[in-house]
Structure 1
Amino acid sequence: MADPITMDRAQVEAHGRLIEQMRRILGADICAVFGDPAAVEIMLNDDGRVLVERHGQGITHLTDLSASKALNLLALMADFRGTTVTRDKPIVEGAMPDEFLRARFAGAIPPLMPRPTFSIRLPARKIYTLEDYRNNAIITGEQYDKIIEAVENRKNILVSGGTGSGKTTLLNAVSDTIACRAGLDQRIVIIEDTREIVCNAPNTVQMLTDADTDIDMTRLLKLTLRYRPDRIFVGEVRDGAALALLKAWNTGHPGGLATLHANSTQAALTRLDQLCQEAGVPSQMPLIHEAVDVIIQIARDASVPAGRRITDILFMDKQD
């Protein structure tokens, strides 16, 4: 994948053709979604239907996309990512070009499924504040007060939930609360695989992993400690990098944020321990109890207007 800053004229022209081809395949309706700040995700199912999820509006059917066009789009994404998509390599993943907001793309072709499919996770363009969460009954007044107190007391907060539950959006709401209170004396370092965290604090550094050079989250967490962080934010914790994160949080850097896939706050503790063990160490429950202060569980809930709500907030017992 070429770096736009260092591309020569021929590369710039080739990149321009690739973008134009992508836009032509997607069509005006899908391209317009990239400009909609309420849009969260664009999904192509194997029946050819393109669905869009928007904040507060749920999922709606936007248009249809033929299998041939979807296959062409995946081939273009593979080319952009410097790889190929074939029967032997049927999966394409990674950030889309800047012209498509560096949205997180994941797609696959047969034989993994009957027809080509993809999911495009759009980065946050609009911050939904904790006040918005309270006003839309996603959190109660008591939960709001507890989260604000945790932010002001520099607690390490883990946001957990299932796929599509709104973990990153909630993390961004907490991040916004921190940013509103942070001055230049609070240096925030953010580490992600794909840029999704938004933080408008005045002293912020953002780092991205790079699969092409094998720079993973563990490597960046170690580098982070040389950047004089006061708070450390991490996108989604997926692997043995969990151990490096906990160690970083536990060495004088309180007030961090991270997300994790789990179905409950207790399950989040178990999963975090399992991820630590992927780094080749035994159970790290003592470290987890020391480093993590608060776990906020968010879940989809069709019974409430917003479609999701905070189901639990666990405050870790720090007593001996």
Structure 2
Amino acid sequence: MADTPHYNGNHAGGHTRLGARLNQHQAAQQPQPPAIQPDAPMRSRPQPAPAPVRKGPGTRRSVPRPAGPADLTAATHLPGALPVDPSVIQDLRLEVAEDLRLERARRGGESLTQQEEEQLADVFAQRRVAAWHATKLTEKQPLTREQLNLVRIEILNLTFRAGALQRILDRPGVQNIDIDLHQMVMFVDEIGQQRQLLSCPFADAQQALDWVNTMASQSGHGERQLAHGSPFVRFRLPDRSRVAASLMASNVAISIRKHGASSWRLKDIEQVGTIDPLMREFLAAAVRARLNIVVCGGMTAGKTSLVRCLAREIPADERLITLETEFELFLDTGQTAAHVVAFEARESNGEGGAGELTIADMLPEVLRYNADRIMVGEVRGKEAEAMMEAMSMGMEGSMCTLHAKKPEEFISRLVLRLGKAGLDVSTSHGLIESAVDLMVFIEKRPYGAKAVTHIWEVDGLGEGHRVVTNPLFAPSKETGRTVPTPYPMTSDRAERLAAAGFDPLLRAHYPQGAWPTDRQAS
């Protein structure tokens, strides 16, 4: 269409509305399209084999991933490698810990703030490092000031942070760290880079095991330690990064997931190309309109980050309850307008599942907490039925995530989980149709990038009492970018979006989306 408006990030204008960013020549030649408001929030209703889906104009492109490292011997050393044996630093750390204990006793057991403890530990570490270095001078070449500073920092890292791994966790773009003690290597995923292969930060498996158990004990997991009798352990580091470690035979494996974008909003993921301004406005209005949303995607696709951004669009006068197997959303940390109450599942603390508390256990209980909305970090099992029931019976504006490799699996995956709760296929489809309004699919692209590729609405039940979906946004065949489809929304949801500030005609006015013209599809 020759007269189709296109968004250009370079257009100047005194207003922040998307429509006002179109150049004046276009405005003179054709009617001005409805304006898209910048920086904008979603509700719900109730597919095993792929459900009937109306074909959209675009198909999902297969994007090749960069090849992983072929030669493990090519691992590079972690920048800032320590100039001394790790055992020396461990000894110095114990001395600093004793200094802190004595200082607390001197103060009569007076409690210290975290900041006060760290400041005291820094003073003690400087003294201990200086004393150790003075004795070392008679044996070997002295260390430089920079090297001594590395030793001091490592002592503090071991005392208050993630120890040997803090140097890599401090990188702002780090997302995932995987350590293989059998190969003595570490794989690191950073935004905008290929997977990096680094040498292992631990000297041997025993040192890695000691690190895991020290960090686990400091995280509040108490007696949960990694050993042959309990070969798996999960915990959080002080910066809230999630750690999973295992001990099989003589090999220790450690995986760390860092939540580096926990304060982001929809406008932030727009800036990095996950969505365009049109999708941002659509999704923000969907939250305000209290549409129920299921966010789908594969492992590490960005589902949690996306629902976190969506939740930040919930109005301040609403009460949100979150339920997670492990805390990852962190919406109760003061950066979300809504009043948030966060619940976390609990593992059993003995045989026979004693003490275990699951999301399925908690869901019926939290309905008594006067919630306006409920968010489940990931629907994995029996909690699916309680979540769908809540969404279908008035808990509008609720959200959850669901693991699926492609958007066509959305309904079949939900049906599978409802089946675990004892529901048959036909009943499951009916429940999904009444509970879910929108499905948003996000996928991982090369170099750590993420992209929302599909937004579908649930459009009733079709042949065989199966859920039918209607694609609203899908990848363009020409550009690979996610663009609006020509299919209209159901009238009820279109009216609700309009009342929430999103003109449904915007999808028709921007058939190529609102992507900046200088941004290429990932």
Question: Same fold by TM-score, threshold 0.5 exceeded?
Answer: yes
Question: What is residue 82 of structure 1 aligned with on the other side?
Answer: 223
CA deviation vs aligned residue, 1:165-212 (integer Å, no higher than 9, x gap): 11111111112222xxx122x111111121111331242111111123
Pick from 151, 165, 168 the counterpart of residue 301 of structure 2.
Answer: 165
Cα 1:137–1:123, aligned 2, differ >3 Å: closer, same or farther?
A: closer
Q: Residues of 2 paired with 1:239 and 1:21: CA distance?
A: 41
For CA contacts below 8 A with separation 6 or more, give which structure has more relative contact order. Answer: 2
Q: How many residues align?
A: 293
Deviation at 1:289, TM superposition (A): 1.7
CA deviation vs aligned residue, 1:97-139 (integer Å, no higher than 9, x gap): 6xx244322111224xx72111122345642322222222222
Whether the aligned pair in 1 keeps the contact of 2:189 and 2:448 (CA below 8 Å) is no
Q: Residues of 2 paired with 1:59 and 1:269: CA distance?
A: 33
Question: What is residue 217 of structure 1 aligned with on the other side?
Answer: 359
Question: Is residue 192 of structure 1 aligned with residue 192 of structure 2?
Answer: no
Whether the aligned pair in 1 keeps the contact of 2:178 and 2:186 (CA below 8 Å) is yes
Question: What is residue 293 of structure 1 aligned with on the other side?
Answer: 437
The alignment's C-alpha RMSD in Å is 3.0
Deviation at 1:28, TM superposition (A): 5.1
Deviation at 1:151, TM superposition (A): 1.3
Question: What is residue 31 of structure 1 aligned with on the other side?
Answer: 166
**If you compute each CA radius of gyration, which structure gives the higher value, 1 or 2?**
2
Q: Residues of 2 paired with 1:261 and 1:152: CA distance?
A: 25
Deviation at 1:243, TM superposition (A): 0.9
Question: What is residue 236 of structure 2 aligned with on the other side?
Answer: 96
Pick from 248, 261, 278 the counterpart of residue 110 of structure 1.
Answer: 248
After TM superposition, list the pairs within 5 Å mapping 1:99-178 onto structure 2. Answer: 100-111=238-249, 115-124=251-260, 126-178=262-314
Ranges in structure 1 where 5+ consecutive residues have no aligned partner: 1-8
Question: What is residue 248 of structure 1 aligned with on the other side?
Answer: 390
The residue type paired with residue 398 of structure 2 is G
Q: Residues of 1 paired with 2:293 and 2:347: CA distance?
A: 27
Task: Tell me the percent identity.
Answer: 25
Q: Residues of 1 paired with 2:375 and 2:400: CA distance?
A: 6
Cα 1:52–1:23, aligned 2, differ >3 Å: closer, same or farther?
A: farther
Q: Residues of 2 paired with 1:169 and 1:63: CA distance?
A: 29
Question: Is residue 44 of structure 1 aligned with residue 179 of structure 2?
Answer: yes
Q: Residues of 2 paired with 1:106 and 1:308: CA distance?
A: 23
Ranges in structure 2 where 5+ consecutive residues have no aligned partner: 1-104, 106-110, 112-116, 118-154, 349-354, 463-522
CA deviation vs aligned residue, 1:31-72 (integer Å, no higher than 9, x gap): 245555543333213422223334445643455133222222
The residue type paired with residue 205 of structure 2 is A
Deviation at 1:88, TM superposition (A): 5.1
Pick from 303, 307, 316 the counterpart of residue 183 of structure 1.
Answer: 316
The residue type paired with residue 276 of structure 1 is L
Whether the aligned pair in 2 keeps the contact of 1:172 and 1:197 (CA below 8 Å) is yes
Deviation at 1:22, TM superposition (A): 9.0
- What TM-score comes out, normalization by structure 2 length? 0.51
Whether the aligned pair in 2 keeps the contact of 1:29 and 1:63 (CA below 8 Å) is no
Whether the aligned pair in 1 keeps the contact of 2:323 and 2:343 (CA below 8 Å) is yes
Whether the aligned pair in 1 keeps the contact of 2:243 and 2:257 (CA below 8 Å) is yes
Whether the aligned pair in 2 keeps the contact of 1:235 and 1:258 (CA below 8 Å) is yes
Q: Residues of 2 paired with 1:210 and 1:22: CA distance?
A: 28
Deviation at 1:149, TM superposition (A): 2.7
Question: What is residue 4 of structure 1 aligned with on the other side?
Answer: none
